[in-house]
Structure 1
């Protein structure tokens, strides 16, 4: 009896990977971004049955891929293979929230968000609404 190998990433792992990727995109993972990721995993219904211990494995995977020449393409390949299409907007919304968490979105983050929109084939109007929502949630006085 042969056992089927498990998928390298669960759908929740893919969501975590997207958040980690946007945080790491500017090579400076800020505390506010880490807190946002942790808060999302701890509080959102999509993560209710998620094994939080997998976060370190997912983080390591993202960091390892970012060190490779075609690592970003490989990351998107993993995400597209393992994340149901109905969760693409969720993935983008989580990435936008992490990008906005520290109050500034730098050029590398903007480029990666653009790449995410492209790879996930998000409608431009839907993406703009998601981005505006993230911006509104992270405004300061």
Structure 2
């Protein structure tokens, strides 16, 4: 049996894949970002039935996709297929939290957040509120 992800990804898999993608987007996965992902998985109700052992296979899938030329497009294809629309803002909020976790936003993280907003069709006003909340939670 191989350690591959089923297609489509579960909604929880999709949320984690986006958080990992944001963390990996600047090629520097920080401890604070990893802790943010782990904490979200441990405390949020959406992850209540999630098998924590899947975290590594989801992360590997994201890293493998990032090594491919059209990997980001493939990732968003998986996300669109596995994430219900009712969780789009949740996905964006979790992505913003991971990006803000280390106290700095790199240009690559900002570009990926912009792409997530576009791909998930997040309203500008809602996106601004989500971003503001993430910034407020992570001020030092």
State TM-score, norm by structure 1.
0.94
Q: Distance in 1 between matches of 2:42 and 2:86?
A: 21
* Counterpart for residue 109 of structure 1: 109
Instruction: Give the total of aligned pairs.
Output: 135
Provide TM-score, normalisation by structure 2.
0.95
Q: Counterpart in 1 of 2:99?
A: 99
| Displacement after TM superposition at 1:9 (Å) | 1.2
Matches of 1:78 and 1:8 in 2, distance apart? Answer: 6
Greater Rg, structure 1 or structure 2? Answer: 1
Instruction: Provide the secondary structure at the position in 2 that maps to 1:49.
Output: coil
Which residues of 2 match residues 1-141 of structure 1 at below 5 A? 7-140=7-140
CA RMSD of aligned residues (A): 0.7
Q: Which residue of 2 aligns with 1:3?
A: none
Partners of 1:61 and 1:37 in 2: how far apart? 16
| C-alpha deviation, 1:127, in angstroms | 0.4
Contact preservation (8 Å) 2:8, 2:81: no
Q: Secondary structure at the match of 2:104?
A: coil
Query: How far apart are residue 104 of structure 1 and its match?
Result: 0.2
For residues 25-47 of structure 1, what are the alpha-carbon distances to aligned partners after superposition, in whole Å with 9 as ceiling and x for unaligned?
00000000000000000010110
* Structure 2 segments unaligned to the other structure (5+ residues): 1-5
Question: By how many angstroms is 1:7 displaced?
Answer: 3.3
User: Post-superposition, which runs of at least 4 consecutive aligned residues in structure 1 deviate over 4 A?
Assistant: none
**Greater alpha carbon shift after TM alignment, 6-15 vs 97-106:** 6-15
